């Protein structure tokens, strides 16, 4: 658990009590702070847009599940993620599912974590599971889905970051189309690549955030939507179904959780990882992840967009 988990812990206890099973908890506040929150803050300080769930899953959540399972002499672990697990040629991998697919969030799980993992909700729907929970009398069957960053409660992510790191300084809006300054922004933390609304600047035509530069403290703008980028680079690859010795392959890549997979060719040359998409990708955002799938929706590998 972490500091924002009081209500979740109470709900878990209600379910355990109802089912008459023991509830074992692990205090992960220190690990969560040092691993997930620290990375979250560091990324924003460097004008990148992180995904804390992707960091948390292998390094905190699933690591702790395996550790506690070992203490209890239990071989398998299970979570309520909407995805499936596959195993071919000695390699374990996540499979995408049709309903509420969360495979993107699980691409950094290790082979050992995947070997032990069971995902019982793989071929179910949220509605079916709520109905089953209601039929069993489970008291939280109507609990709404979580939509926000789990460790930020009662404030915006901007307020949280500036409370932790201090106020981000004002800087320059720079119009790339004309290579000139066009105004003052209120701090890099307030913007993300692809953003069009709530920029606080009027140039007589819509403009989009095309890039953020922490070194110059500039928010780059463009009158053209940030589409059409076909080549992206990524770091820190994690291999699932794909053997790590493969240096070139074709796949279907997603550059964000809600994106549709798009055909691409991936190459590795001297530790430089590059994906070339057949179609232009909108708002490629450093700090987010790119995840590659085969035609069957199996996770091949993925990495952090650079």
Catalytic center residues: 56, 150
Please state the φ and ψ torsions of residue 242, each to the nearest 5 degrees. -75, 135
For the record, the structure tokens of 158 come out as 């901007």
Residues in Cβ contact with 17 at an 8 Å cutoff, skipping those fewer than 6 apart: none
What whole-number distance in Å separates Cα of residue 98 and Cα of residue 170?
A: 44
What's the residue count for the chain?
306
Relative to beta strand 171-175, strand 218-222 is parallel
Pairing of strands 272-281, 289-293: unpaired
Per-residue 3-state assignment (H helix, E strand, C coil) for 249-269? EEEEEECCCCCCCEEEEEEEE
The DSSP annotation for 104-125 comes to GGGTT--HHHHHHEE-TTTT--
Instruction: Classify the phi-psi angles of 223: left when phi > 0, otherwise alpha if psi is within -120 to 50, otherwise beta.
Output: alpha
- Return all residues near 43 (Cβ < 8 A) that are at least 6 apart: 49, 50, 287
Beta strands in 65-207, from DSSP E residues, in sequence order: 77-78, 84-88, 91-95, 117-118, 171-175, 180-185
């Amino acid at each position: 658990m972490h500091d924002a988990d009081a209500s979740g812990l109470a709900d878990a206890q209600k379910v355990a009590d109802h089912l008459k099973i023991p509830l074992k908890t692990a205090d992960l506040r220190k690990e969560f702070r040092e691993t997930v929150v620290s990375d979250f803050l560091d990324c924003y300080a460097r004008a990148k847009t992180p995904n804390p769930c992707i960091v948390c899953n292998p390094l905190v959540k699933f690591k702790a599940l395996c550790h506690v399972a070992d203490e209890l002499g239990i071989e398998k672990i299970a979570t309520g993620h909407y995805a499936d697990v596959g195993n071919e040629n000695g390699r374990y991998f996540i499979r995408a599912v049709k309903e509420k697919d969360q495979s993107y969030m699980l691409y950094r799980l290790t082979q050992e974590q995947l070997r032990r993992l069971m995902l019982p909700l793989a071929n179910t729907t949220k509605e079916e599971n709520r109905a089953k929970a209601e039929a069993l009398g489970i008291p939280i069957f109507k609990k709404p889905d979580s939509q926000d960053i789990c460790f930020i409660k009662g404030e915006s992510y901007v307020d949280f970051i500036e409370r932790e790191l201090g106020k981000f300084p004002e800087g320059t809006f720079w119009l790339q189309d004309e290579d000139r300054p066009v105004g003052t922004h209120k701090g890099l933390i307030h913007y993300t690549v692809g953003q069009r609304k709530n920029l606080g600047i009027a140039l007589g035509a819509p403009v989009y955030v095309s890039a953020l530069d922490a070194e110059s403290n500039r928010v780059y703008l463009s009158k053209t939507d940030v589409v059409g980028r076909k080549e992206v680079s990524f770091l820190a690859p994690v291999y699932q179904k794909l053997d790590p010795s493969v240096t070139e392959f074709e796949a279907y890549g997603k550059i964000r959780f809600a994106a549709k997979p798009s055909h691409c060719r991936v190459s590795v040359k001297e530790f430089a990882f590059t994906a070339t998409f057949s179609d232009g990708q909108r708002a490629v955002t450093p700090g987010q992840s790119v995840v590659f799938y085969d035609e069957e929706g199996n996770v091949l590998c993925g990495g952090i967009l650079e």
